[in-house]
Amino acid sequence: MIKQNKIRPFLKWAGGKYRLLDRICSLLPGGKQLIEPFVGGGAVFLNTNFEHCLLNDANADLITLYQVLQKEGHQFIETCRSFFVKKLNSEKSYYHLRKRFNECLEPIERSALFLYLNRHGYNGLCRYNIKKNEFNVPFGRYLKPYFPEKEMYYFYEKSKRATFVCEDFTKTMKRAKKGSVVYCDPPYVPLNATSCFTTYRAGGFSLEEQKKLALLAEKLSVKGIPVLLSNHSNHFTYDVYQSALIKEFMVQRFISCKAEERTAVRELLAFYTPLT
């Protein structure tokens, strides 16, 4: 199922699954349609070959960017390129464009600015302040931010077989039918109290939502629909995924908010095999 040469997502996205593709794809069964309720950077979508993909994320800026690229293709890629020039890689330009992004409602310009912020901002983080929902990541100070042209063209081609939606994962899970295969990469259960990995958007993802997701996965498998889930491996996940098959492994991750603090953490893949 997995391609020989792996394709990188064109966005930097926390929790990206590029390095875990072999593990994920070796467990992901074939089917007519791939459903990803938490698509993020889309590493799994890009590296599998389903007839159709239903891709969701609660981050509206992310989904609008994908929809704009899908519709506009080459022209949009050229618009994005115009922001990747030397004179716009300065602190002053960054904060000016960040303000423009926060005021902009026009989807094409907002999406091009979102990509600019993703590649010029600190660590590729995506963070909004809770009160005003404004993007507030500081300048990244990169020498020459990479313009992901090749990756965008690849995504554009793949997107011809995709539908992008922005809704809560519960709705997307309920769209699965016989022939669907579901891969879930939710914001992870915190490893410990200081872990900052769950803050993908205002509101985060509660333990109640983790339980709801596990329950929905189990219900789908009873209906004959396979569901594969990624998460940290700890007492909580072992408990909520108890009716699934579990594969555990170690992964090098940045678990602190400080970029330099990299350590090995235990993760798992929980597989809900179809019962019919």
Ligand X SMILES: C[S@@+](CC[C@H](N)C(=O)[O-])C[C@H]1O[C@@H](n2cnc3c(N)ncnc32)[C@H](O)[C@@H]1O
Q: Is 124 in the site for ligand X (CB under 6 A)?
A: no
Which of 222, 212, 219 shows the shortest CA–CA distance to 275? Answer: 222
Which of 257, 265, 262, 264 shows the shortest CA–CA distance to 123? Answer: 257
Q: CB nearer to ligand X: give 56 or 89.
A: 56
- Of 38-46, 112-120, 155-163, 234-242, which part binds ligand X (CB under 6 A)? 38-46
Report which secondary-structure segment, H or E, holds 56.
strand 52-56
Q: CB nearer to ligand X: give 12 or 89.
A: 12
Which of 245, 253, 275, 265 shows the shortest CA–CA distance to 27? Answer: 245
Residue from 47, 59, 180, 210 in contact with ligand X (CB under 6 A): 59
Residue 137 near residue 125, CB atoms below 8 Å: yes
Residue from 7, 10, 31, 37 in contact with ligand X (CB under 6 A): 37
Q: What is the DSSP string of 206-221?
A: -HHHHHHHHHHHHHHH
Could you give the string, one character per residue 157-196, with x where binding to ligand X holds by CB under 6 A and - elsewhere?
A: -----------xx---------------xxx---------
Q: Is 15 in the site for ligand X (CB under 6 A)?
A: yes
- Of 10-18, 72-80, 231-239, 268-276, which part binds ligand X (CB under 6 A)? 10-18
Residue 9 near residue 18, CB atoms below 8 Å: yes
Which of 186, 198, 185 shows the shortest CA–CA distance to 255? Answer: 198
Residue from 7, 43, 125, 244 in contact with ligand X (CB under 6 A): 43
Q: State the chain's maximal CA–CA distance in angstroms.
A: 59
Minimum distance from CB of 20 to ligand X (Å)? 8
Q: CB nearer to ligand X: give 47 or 89.
A: 47
Q: Is 135 in the site for ligand X (CB under 6 A)?
A: no
267 in helix, strand or coil?
strand
Could you give the string, one character per residue 201-230, with x where binding to ligand X holds by CB under 6 A and - elsewhere?
A: x---x-------------------------
Minimum distance from CB of 118 to ligand X (Å)? 12
Residues in the interface with ligand X (CB under 6 A) total 23
Q: Is 148 in the site for ligand X (CB under 6 A)?
A: no
CA distance 63 to 60: 5
Amino acid at 87: K
169 in helix, strand or coil?
helix
Q: Is 200 in the site for ligand X (CB under 6 A)?
A: yes
What is the side-by-side strand order in the sheet with 227-232?
A: 162-165, 52-56, 33-36, 180-184, 227-232, 262-272, 245-254
Site for ligand X in 68-107 (CB under 6 A): none
**Residue numbers at the binding site for ligand X (CB under 6 A):** 9, 13, 15-17, 37-41, 43, 56-59, 168-169, 185-187, 200-201, 205
